[in-house]
Chains A and B, each alone.
Chain A
Amino acid sequence: MNAPEKTNAKDFASSEEVRWCPGCGDYAILKAVTQVLAKVGARRENTVFVSGIGCASRFPYYLETYGFHTIHGRAPAIASGVKLTRPELDVWVVTGDGDGLSIGGNHLLHALRRNIDLNILLFNNEIYGLTKGQYSPTSRLGTRSPSSPGGSFDQPVSPGLFALGSGARFIARGIDTDKSGLGGVLEAAHGFKGASFVEIFQNCIVYNDNVFGAFTDKANAADAQVRVEHGKPLLFGKNGAKGLHLNTATLALEIIDAQARPEAVLVHDETNPVMAQLLLAMQPPQLPVALGVIYRNPAPSYDEAFIANHVTQLKRTKSVADALRDTDTWRVN
């Protein structure tokens, strides 16, 4: 039943009409996801997409898999119930910055620290789109919006650092329109046993257009992005001319000339949480944005432990008729 199914990306498109704004980054993400599902041989009936509320959360309607569009912020909790009941299912959670980090922050925290086997995709556009453009918990200071006409003064949360602090064992990043980079990250997330957290920088063309331009625009990409790969030096810039170096005196990353000091360039270790923290905290213009699998450090997953620690591995080995008599009984004749 779980044998790979021979499909192509189109087989994963449902008959529902897609209703995102023209030019929305979600289209590209949808395409990347269907391609990855086809590539990994996912069986449609064994794949479940669970989402909360928001633009991103419309995602399940557009996939020819099982889908559950739930309520605001609660997708990780509902998905947890699905996974614990049917561990053989491939369960994905689609959420946004408001859904996952504001109203649903608690559930995201607990899903991550439990390391339950869900693929969690957080579409971060740094704005509330579906409610018409209010600032979100990831909006930068000074974001002007209908609810912050003078500019927001709410300190933003970093999704990646939140995940790391929550105890996530898999943290990766991609950009909506970066087909190959995002595809690789999604495939890695799918392959990870445990909670895999993927932050996708997603452009909201209507309310927050080009908010990530500082590192996603073609002109800036080379100098403002570092694509991390386990065991490889952290190089970026034109022809990999720049490298990231750990200043052991300040415990901070700094940019060095990679050609002049190749031995001083930090080598990515995806199992190192301290390095993950440094990489996740990087922001342009001072430092490039880290993309790819930043942290992958497997640990037993909650759904496995749920069964392993269950007295009968969730099987019914005793009848209720017997259980009723697990105490002193007496007979009246």
Chain B
Amino acid sequence: MAAWNFIASLTRDAHTPGRRLLVSATGRAASPVASTHRPAGPGRSVEFRRLEINEQPTNDSVVVRFAGDSGDGVQLMGTQFAASTAAAGSDFATFPDYPAEIRAPAGTTFGVSAYQINLGAGPITTAGDAPQVLVAFNPAALKVSLPLVAPNALIVLNTDTFTPRNLSKAGYAEDPRNTGILDGYQVVQIEITRLTAEAVKAFGLSKSDAGRSKNFWALGVLLWMFGRDLESVERWVKQRFAKQETVREANLGALHAGHAYGETAELSAAVPRYQVSPGTFPAGEYRGIRGSEALALGLAAAAELADRSLMFCSYPITPASPLLHRLARLGELGVGVFQAEDEIAAICAALGASYAGAIGVTSSSGPGIALKTEAIGLAINTELPLVIVDSQRGGPSTGLPTKTEQSDLYQAVYGRNADAPVPVLAARSPSDCFDAAIEAVRIAVRHMTPVILLTDGYLANAAEPWKLPDMGKYLPIEANAIPIKEADEDGESVAFRRDARTLGRPWVAPGTPELMHRIGGLEKDIRTGHISYDAENHEQMTQMRAAKVRAVADFIPDQQVTIGPQRGSLAVVGWGSTYGSLYHAVRSMSGHSVSHIHIRHLAPFPNNLGELLGGFERVLVPEMNMGQLSTLLRDKLGLDPIPLTKVAGQPFLVSELQAAIQRELALTDHQSSDASLRRDAV
């Protein structure tokens, strides 16, 4: 068996011309090529060599992208491929990239839905810059994905869709298979639609219905390529379509047919097979997890730790809705889900639930958070716990509903009328959403304050393996104790007697005898809780609200350096979902004085953050916005960071970060020729 071993490594080599691997339309491979080879592509090289028959190839990591029409079932195919990867024990990270339209006009470039997965021995921290395998279901998918793929990538095309009409819809004046733009790639052309129809003929489906199984057919081929068995996917299909016999059998038939097709002599000769090493994970029990799932479980876990019910009140919005869907299925964990009539009602109902003693949580994306703003102010003023999850997306206004961005940081930290501070934190990876959710609830209850938890479209949908946490290691979430009321107190309500350290007040819910009191949006007397328009009291209350949020910093861990020296030339500072890319980029720079610092707590910052960042000559802040964390670092810590911004609706590529880091390192080297300034350089 001919097989190709890809070892993609990033180097600083200049472009070198590529070489086309010829694969005939029937899938028969041209004769093998030279033993080593440097194809085209900016700043990277790919080496490969021919393996002898039966030699077991091993890949450190492979990036695979599926792309097709939004009705092609690409997301489902990707999710199942990820599940199979998990079952095979490899590390992975995924990036679903789909359009805002549910079924955009077929064949158009704006209707292309894609799913990218990076899999390997690990640690895998990003979905990968450049796919080495692309499955394109139509010309539009090829058109959109081709600029992304790695040199010499394997491109599987569904040739049935390469009709003049589809080519024109994709904006191809000529068939790209004939223009030479696919030179330098291994192109495998398969009549996926026709072969799928053939495979499911026995089930008596209409022509259009038969075509629907083509994602499973293609998945069968991919699973063969990666040496996987079909078991996990079969099990899923049987469960998912338990009540739809024809669909179930057709999908299973297509899956098997695709897998069998891989084993035919033609394809075996043409297509490389990948053997991805299992991950090198610490011992423990693992599962695959998406950000929205981890977030849902984390919120439920927080409620369990607080021994209260979770009341989740939300209104559908992209990309926050997966959290609503997830929680709606977690009823057994004592989770109540209320789909409100609008964003404002959602946060108000959540606040009502908090007032009544539950863990009240609401969730939205940027435009919805804007609508919730007034109610966040009410939660601040009434000193009630509340968690607001913001799954950020591109904006302003409706913006890019399905594309990721980190541009709500200003809104979270500064975006309210009056002096209205709230704690803000961000999750950094799909599995980290679990701990971030628990932390958000813990802060809300301890300090009796609304808390904003930032995630984004990328985190909500991306997936990775996750070592299951030991629930016994989490401390309970305890509300402030209700003080005993003394007989001679003059009008002071114990409901407003705040803890000296947290400034959180006791959580006195309706139903508690003897402690009836009134709360509201009007300023209240700092002691009695009665309405007060007194100037001095308002000053005190405003100071108290600010001090309360500052006090959060006394309860959170010091900022750590993720990787690299504690002091030195360059700190790469990020927050949220850029964690994986930043980590990967900085790790690849070993030998240079560069450190990765990732901030979870954005308001207030950890107490040591200023000192820590002060130990670096330069601070580079990559963000998927116009420099919002940079502003915050300037504002709160008086630093002068260097923003690196990207607002393309897509995560950072590792290569983009590496280039920026190298640029900054060159400047530090240049500027700090004085050896004393480089004392900590490694």
Would A320 and B356 count as touching, CB distance under 8 A?
no
Partner of B516, one of A50, A53, A65, A331: A65
| Of the residues A44, A80, A109, A314, contact of B334 by C-beta under 8 Å | A314
Contacts of B358 in A (CB 8 A): 85
Name, among A89, A109, A318, A333, the residue most crowded by chain B CB atoms within 10 Å (CB to CB).
Answer: A318
Whether, in the assembled complex, B483 has its beta carbon less than 8 Å from a beta carbon of chain A, the answer is no
Assess A14 versus B518: contact at CB under 8 Å? Given A78-B349, A320-B297: yes
B330 in contact with A89 (CB, 8 Å): no
**In the bound complex, CA of A60 to CA of B519 (Å):** 9
- Asked, given contacts A81-B348, A312-B334, A328-B83, whether A45 binds B514 with beta carbons under 8 Å apart, the answer is yes
Would you call A324 an interface residue if the criterion is a C-beta within 8 Å of the partner chain's C-beta atoms?
A: yes
Q: Which of B281, B334, B348, B360 contacts A74 (CB 8 A)?
A: B348
For B283, list chain A residues within 8 Å (CB).
332-333
- In the complex, the answer to whether B332 meets A318 with C-beta atoms within 8 Å is yes
Known: A61-B518, A320-B471. A328 touches B87 (CB 8 A): yes
| The residue from A63, A317, A332 contacting B284, defined by CB atoms under 8 A apart | A332
Distance of A273 from chain B, by nearest CB (Å): 23
Given the complex, which residues of A lie within 8 Å of B342, measured CB to CB?
A: 106
Q: Is the CB of B331 within 8 A of A312?
A: yes
Does A89 lie within 8 Å of B510, measured CB to CB?
Answer: yes
Q: Are A74 and B287 in contact (CB under 8 A)?
A: no
Residues of A near B232 (CB, < 8 A) are 328
**Of A47, A66, A306, A315, most B-chain CB atoms within 10 Å:** A66
Q: Is the Cβ of A45 less than 8 Å from the Cβ of B516?
A: yes
Quick check: A316 and B287 within 8 Å, CB to CB? no
A325 touches B518 (CB 8 A): no
Which residues of chain A come closer than 8 Å to B341, judged between CB atoms? 77, 106-107, 109-110
Residues B356 and A82 in contact, CB atoms below 8 Å apart = yes
Q: Which of A61, A82, A315, A332 contacts B286 (CB 8 A)?
A: A332
A330: nearest chain-B partner, CB-CB: B286
Residues of chain B with a CB closer than 8 A to A82's CB = 352-353, 355-356, 510
Question: B511 to A81, Cβ gap below 8 A?
Answer: no
Contact with B along A296-333 (1 / 0, CB 8 A): 00000000001000111011111111011101111111
CA–CA, A332 to B374, complex, Å? 48
Contact across chains for B518 and A110 when beta carbons are under 8 A apart:
no
Q: How many A-B residue pairs have CB under 8 A?
A: 213
Cα A312 to Cα B329 with chains together (Å): 11
Cα A263 to Cα B347 with chains together (Å): 54
Bound-complex Cα distance A16 to B519 (A) = 12
Would you call A64 and B516 a contact (CB within 8 A)? yes
A60 nearest CB across to chain B (Å): 6
| A16 close to B89 (CB less than 8 A) | no
Q: Judging by beta carbons under 8 Å apart, are B86 and A78 in contact?
A: no
Name which residue of chain A comes closest to B356, CB basis. Answer: A85
In the docked arrangement, what's the CA distance between A323 and B518, Å? 39
The CA-CA distance from A229 to B72 in the complex, in Å, is: 62
**B105 interfacial contact with A, CB 8 Å:** no
Q: A78-B351, A332-B282 are in contact. Are A320 and B345 (CB under 8 A)?
A: no
Q: Closest approach, in angstroms, between the C-beta of A165 and any C-beta of chain B?
A: 16
Could you say which of B284, B333, B345 contacts A77, with CB atoms under 8 Å apart?
A: B345
Bound form: Cα–Cα A316–B333 in Å: 5
Tell whether A330 pairs with B333 under 8 Å between CB atoms, given A82-B510, A324-B297.
no
From A46, A85, A310, A315, residue with most partner B Cβ within 10 Å: A85
- In the complex, what's the smallest C-beta–C-beta distance from B281 to chain A, in angstroms? 4
Whether the pair B285, A316 counts as a contact (CB closer than 8 A) is no
A66-B86 contact in complex given A46-B511, A84-B336, C-beta closer than 8 Å: no
Task: State A79–B313 Cα separation when bound (angstroms).
Answer: 13
CA of A70 to CA of B345 in the docked complex: distance in angstroms? 12
**Cα distance, A74 to B371, chains bound together (Å):** 12
CA distance in complex: A82, B518 (Å): 14
Known: A86-B510, A316-B304. A78 touches B355 (CB 8 A): yes
- Residue A68 lies at the interface, judged by CB distance under 8 Å to chain B: yes
Q: How far is the CA of A14 from the CA of B86 in the complex (A)?
A: 61
In the complex the two chains form, is A48's CB within 8 Å of B349's CB? no
CA–CA, A2 and B377, complex, Å: 33
* Inter-subunit contact A318/B333 (CB<8 Å): yes
Let me know if A67 is at the binding interface, CB within 8 A: yes
CB-CB nearest in chain B for A90: B510
- List residues of chain A with CB within 8 A of the CB of B330: 323
Q: Kindly state the separation between the CA atoms of A71 and B371 in the bound complex, as whole angstroms.
A: 13
**Can you give 10 A-B contacts (C-beta < 8 A)?**
A14-B518, A47-B510, A81-B350, A81-B356, A82-B352, A306-B338, A314-B331, A325-B285, A329-B287, A330-B86
Known A71-B521, A329-B468; 4 more pairs at CB < 8 Å: A14-B516, A77-B341, A78-B355, A85-B358
A contacts, CB < 8 Å to B: 1, 14-16, 44-48, 50, 53, 60-61, 63-71, 74, 77-86, 88-89, 106-107, 109-110, 306, 310-312, 314-321, 323-325, 327-333
